[in-house]
């Protein structure tokens, strides 16, 4: 296997890892949103504490996803000198997405969820181009 092929495989692996991280955040936020809907129907302290735990889990996932997206961006940069694949704006997107997310209410969770969806689409598109 040539260096270029190995580099491409490593880039794809980095992208797939970043994609998993983003999907994990999406799943966690979805669960937190479900708990938030239960809060609307009454002061369910168990529901609220579970929602807060899910939000904490999402925040940890955000750090993982940020690291994974930066690794993917670095791998694409290394590969771009050998191919016509370009980084596009994945690094800028990662910086914007992860700059101090705040989950105080359902609307903010929904807004962040949309940004995560945007990230998933960008990573999927880059992976499709690489494959």
Q: What are the residue ranges spanned by the domains of the chain? A: 3-130
Q: How many CB atoms lie under 10 A from the CB of residue 127? A: 17
Q: What is the pLDDT confidence band of residue 107, given thresholds at 50, 70 and 90?
A: confident
CA atoms within 13 A on the CB side of 28: 22
Who has greater pLDDT, 26 or 80?
Answer: 26
Into which CATH architecture does domain 3-130 fall? Orthogonal Bundle (1.10)
Q: How many CB atoms lie under 10 A from the CB of residue 129? A: 14
pLDDT tens per residue, range 8-63: 899 999 999 999 999 998 888 787 777 654 444 445 454 567 767 777 887 788 88
Percent of the chain, pLDDT > 90?
13
């Amino acid at each position: 296997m040539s260096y270029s092929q190995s580099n491409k495989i490593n880039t794809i692996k980095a992208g797939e890892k970043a994609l998993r991280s983003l999907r994990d955040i999406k799943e966690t936020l979805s669960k937190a949103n479900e708990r938030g809907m239960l809060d609307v129907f009454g002061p369910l302290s168990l529901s609220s504490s579970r929602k807060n735990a899910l939000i904490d889990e999402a925040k940890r996932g955000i750090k993982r996803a940020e690291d994974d997206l930066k690794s993917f961006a670095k791998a694409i940069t290394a590969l771009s000198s050998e191919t016509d694949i370009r980084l596009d704006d994945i690094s800028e997107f990662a910086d914007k997405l992860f700059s101090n997310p705040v989950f105080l209410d359902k609307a903010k969770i929904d807004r962040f969820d949309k940004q995560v969806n945007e990230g998933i689409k960008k990573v999927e598109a880059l992976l499709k181009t690489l494959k």
